[in-house]
Chains A and B, each alone.
Chain A
Amino acid sequence: MSKRFFKSEKPIKGALAIFALLSLIFLAGILVTLLAQALPFLGEYPLGDFLTGESWRPTMEEPMFGMLPLLLSSLLVTAIALVIAIPLSLGTAIFLAEVAPPWLRETVKPIIELLAGIPSVVFGFIGMVMIAPFLKDLFDLPVGLTALNAGIILAFMAYPTMASLAEDAISSVPSDLREASLALGSNRWEMMSRAVLPAARNGIFQAILLGFGRIIGETMVVLMVAGGAAQMTINPLKPVRPITATIAAEQGEAVAGSLHLHSLFMLALLLFIITLAFNVLAEGIKQRNDLSFKRNKKGATL
């Protein structure tokens, strides 16, 4: 009986399915943990004040947990990073897919991969010792640790992911589309801008969304170079305090079981929801993209 049991391979599939489901279980576990740790905060501090409060002063006698300056800081830094990273990564993707000879492509891709592997703390260190003095002299600032500094560094951190996804999207545009465009008399740039890029727009959009998720969740760089001041500003030359930096900086000083520590879990929950939403959105766009190409192919054979 037992021999027959082992010969049957049904249990293998079931066991493997459990391992595959672990990712979902861990994801749910993270959500439940954040919720459980954030609930005590919600019990003591009004959610409305948390969401719309304009000052974050957790250690005052009358502590204030207004998350707006932190969210604004995160968004400011992310916007600066995207403004730099989108043209750089899109330009690289177009160059690698359309212009570069194969040998150059094969050389540049590993270099981009090495850039992707540089630890965030090393980037943060570079921001402190290299970019900060440079910005300080350039703009005549008291200190160089500002939103702009963090944005520059984060742009280079998000670049590898965005460039390689955008390149995938551009390369996967069917070649009949390129040929049709060239046959109509376009030169290669017109083919790229009017036929290929519009066809690849979903993939490119996905690259930007994932870049956004990567940047807004990055911790060490903003902790080390963003300056750390929780203020309501959209001036890139001012120090700011993004959500991730607040969690990392204050976790060490918050007393176990205190309202302050629970407020950090509340921030983490907020961050988790933002990044989850962007990732699921990016995934949805990718699946729609794949589907539309399949439809095209089917249409062509008919």
Chain B
Amino acid sequence: MLKRNARQLKEKVMFSLSGASMVVVVGFLGLIIAFLVSKGAEVINWEFLTEMPRQAMSEGGIYPAIIGTLLLALGAIIFAVPLGILAAIYLSEYAAEGRLKRWIRIGVNALAGVPSVVFGLFGLAIFVILFGFGASLLSGSLTLGLLILPLIIRSTEEALKTVPNSFREASLGLGATKWQTIRKVVLPTALPNILTGIILAVGRAAGETAPILFTATVFFMKRMPEGIMSKVMALPYHIYALMSEGIYPEKHTAIAYGTALVLLGLVSLINLTAIILRTRARKRKKW
């Protein structure tokens, strides 16, 4: 009898501990969000979001950094989405199981695991120096595009796999070719899930710092970027620079709180959009 109670107690304790581990993480997340919101909200107002920085970044807004981050993420998507979707179509619809497919999959996963700072050095050596693009919006976008390419391939492949085979068979049975089937049946059916993956990749690109550290960013700009060869300000780099320059520590830290909250809000909004889109796509699924 006693032994049985001990066993039951152990079950209770272990499962409670497992629940507690989740509470610790969710609590930590709540704590950092509450902390950033309370400190950042003091700084954020309309001028902060829409004005140029002034007085060596100790006053004014972060407008060019917001625009710079959006441009970098957009550039990365333009580069990575077409390549990623085409690669995923091959992996999901054409490639037979075998050595080649296994190597490609290892390559995609290995690319996803390359540290972001290594992407930064690669971008510096290839895009900035070898191709002569300099530190620019173009170099930064290409570097970020490379970083999110494996994410797009993996999410698109997953999305294509969720399309039932009967859809393909019906289309082929009606006389459509394989390519027509992919274009007219498979891709449209998988579209919401593909979009979810792309939006998550945008969020990732918008938040990365190390890859653009050497390839695109500048701490302080008096004008907006003029073209793809122009350097840009970016929210993630801005936070880092404010915290490491240290000319006006008090004023800089206050602006950094505001910038961190803006970046967190922007990225969370992007990710939330993706999560909602995915949930709705799942609910609408009729097969």
Q: Which residues of A contact B (CB under 8 A)?
A: 9, 12-13, 15-17, 19-24, 26-27, 29-30, 33-34, 36-37, 87-92, 94-96, 98-100, 108, 110-115, 117-122, 124-126, 128-130, 156, 159, 163, 187-190, 192-193, 210, 213-214, 216-220, 223-224, 244, 247-248, 251-252, 256, 264-265, 268, 271-272, 275-276, 278-280, 283, 287
Contacts and interface: CB of A to CB of B under 8 A. Distances in A.
Interface string B92-119: 0011000000111111111111111111
Please classify the interface of chain A as helix (H, G, I), strand (E, B), loop, or mixed, using the class held by over half of its residues: helix
B19 A224 contact: no
Given A130-B35, A248-B213, A12 B116 contact: no
Interface of B: 7-8, 10-11, 14-15, 17-22, 24-26, 28-29, 32, 35-36, 39, 83, 86-87, 89-91, 94-95, 102-122, 124-126, 129, 146, 149-150, 153, 177-179, 200, 203-204, 206-210, 213-214, 236-237, 239-240, 243-244, 253, 256-257, 260, 263-264, 267-268, 270-272, 275
A159 B26 CA distance: 11
Contacts of A217: 113-118
B117 A29 contact: no
A121 B263 CA distance: 10
A156 B39 CA distance: 21
Contacts of B114: 27, 30, 217, 272, 275-276
Given A125-B239, A187-B7, A210-B113, A23 B153 contact: yes
A34 B22 contact: no
A275 B17 contact: no
SS class of chain B's interface: helix, strand, loop or mixed?
Answer: helix
Given A23-B111, A280-B106, A16 B118 contact: no
A17 B231 CA distance: 35
B115 A275 contact: yes
Contacts of B20: 91
Contacts of A92: 18, 21-22, 25
A91 B104 contact: no
Contact of B267 (A27, A96, A118): A118
A115 B272 CA distance: 11
Given A9-B179, A119-B207, A283-B106, A114 B11 contact: no
A226 B147 CA distance: 25
A26 B149 contact: yes
A119 B209 contact: yes
A159 B27 CA distance: 14
A24 B107 contact: yes
Nearest to A95: B18
25 contacts: A9-B177, A16-B94, A19-B83, A24-B107, A29-B122, A29-B126, A88-B21, A88-B25, A91-B20, A95-B19, A108-B26, A112-B25, A119-B206, A119-B236, A121-B260, A122-B264, A124-B240, A125-B256, A187-B8, A187-B11, A189-B14, A220-B209, A275-B114, A276-B113, A283-B110
